[in-house]
Amino acid sequence: MNILLLGSGGREHALAWRLSQSTLLAGGGTLYAAPGNPGIAAYATCAALDATDHGAVLRFCAEHAVGLVVIGPEAPLCDGLADSLRGASVPVFGPGRAAAQLEGSKGFTKDMCATAQIPTAAYQRVASAHEGIAALERFACPVVVKADGLAAGKGVIIAETREEAEEAIRSIFDGAFGTAGAEAVIEEFMTGEEASFFALTDGRAIVAFASAQDHKRVGEGDTGPNTGGMGAYSPARVLTPTLEAETMARIIAPTVKALADAGTPYSGVLFAGLMLTEDGPKLIEFNARFGDPECQALLPRLQSDLLPALIAACDGELADFSLRWRDVASIAVVLAARGYPEAPQRGSEIGGLDRAAAVPDVLVFHAGTQTDADGHLRAAGGRVLTVCATGADLAAARHSAYAAIGAIEWPEGFYRRDIGWRALAGDSSPA
């Protein structure tokens, strides 16, 4: 069968790497990627295809006998591309527009949690700066202020004081996050440790996927502004089997049921960002796709063939499905262009990737890269590379990842040297 993978980031490079190994492609099937990137091109045939042009995607699928579309990023999901594909009888991994509101609207998700009694922070939806500032009376500081829509992981502000909260609210409604800030959500600040939990669902059956911990802040020690993610590791040891079971029972399963009952069943991967509080796991937010960089940390641990699991989710056949995992730890460290997340510098040359990838148990995934006319690899985005490694434990995996980073020649890039620091008792050294 032929597969079309949509996206161009590190997540999609990891997916392309894993999907290309599937036995279902061994009989002559082709993996296409659109638009892809220089790293993805090693595993897939890249095509210049605009995912916002649903007609063009449908024509490509018809012309290339595509048997499954895998949508990587959130924007096409929230734009309803999966609905267009299903309407044309093209199998697709990813939820339709209505179900993707779990990521596309924080207010939608909070309202669903309230109705389905899913544990989450107290909140209030607001539609103007005036309404938002008035709503602050309900909340103690620190308080969380969120743009309602998609903001590439940057629309969340933790305000330590009332003045910071008011400034955050004004910035959202003044357009700091574009159309994502048409509405906002004010939330109670929760304390605890964060973790990410992933599950596959066909709209009824649910299969636990894996756990991870992300590092959202740009600076070491979890300082500075939020980003799309500066690194991750898997599994998240703080998310014990007992807590995973509680997450499935109190958060994942009620969500899948609520959407099915509403006539908008969720099919795809469901990514729950969790706060592990004294009262148990509480939902921070949902994402409607594999995370980035969590996906890069998860897939090297997966022993099972990924493609049959995605097909089972599309076909409603997950009820009797199971996944096998390697008994290893995995880490993903993001290399970003200087100036990220505010104003990343583009165009600088990157070298040494072959030496980095030669380090045992290391994979280098491309995100914001491009090849110039002379064949040189250059930075073309904020988050540019993800260096991943596996090991018998997290310390071993981290040692390999940072050894590989040391082989990369890119003075204009930067990375956090403390990925995994909480799990490793605050040891921030890469050694």
Q: What angle do the packed helices 106-116 and 253-261 form, to 10 degrees?
A: 100
What is the tens place of the pLDDT at every residue in 14-50? 999 999 999 999 878 999 999 999 999 999 999 999 9
Residue 134 in 3-state DSSP? helix
Tokens matching residue 384: 């540019």
Q: Which fold has domain 2-94?
A: Rossmann fold (3.40.50)
Q: How far apart are CA 167 and CA 169, in angstroms?
A: 5
- For the chain, the residue count is 431
CATH of domain 193-315: 3.30.470.20
Q: pLDDT below 50 — which residues of the chain?
A: 426-431
- Residue spans in the chain of domains classed CATH 3.90.600.10: 329-414
Residues 208, 244 contacting (CB under 8 angstroms): yes
Beta strand 66-71 with 2-7: parallel, antiparallel or unpaired? parallel
CA gap 142, 121 in Å, rounded: 13
* Range list for CATH 3.40.50.20 in the chain: 2-94
User: In which residue ranges of the chain is CATH 3.30.470.20 found?
Assistant: 193-315
Q: Look up residue 318 and give its two tokens.
A: 């997950």
Q: How far apart are CA 234 and CA 284, in angstroms?
A: 19
Q: Is pTM beyond 0.85 here? A: yes
> Which of 3.30.300.30, 3.30.1490.20, 3.10.580.10, 1.10.3720.10 is the CATH number of 122-188?
3.30.1490.20
Domain 329-414 has CATH 3.90.1640.10: no
User: Cβ of 228: how many Cβ atoms within 10 Å?
Assistant: 23
- Tokens of residue 354, six digits: 């072959």
- The whole-number pLDDT of residue 124 equals 97
Spatial CB neighbours of 374, under 8 Å, sequence gap ≥ 6? none
pLDDT at 201: 98
Q: What is the pLDDT of residue 226?
A: 83
* pLDDT value at residue 430: 40
Q: Quick one: pLDDT at residue 154?
A: 75
Angle at the Cα of 375 (from 370 to 378), degrees rounded to 5? 35
* CATH 3.30.1490.20 in the chain, residue ranges: 122-188
Identify the pLDDT of residue 155. Answer: 85
Q: What is the pLDDT of residue 152?
A: 72
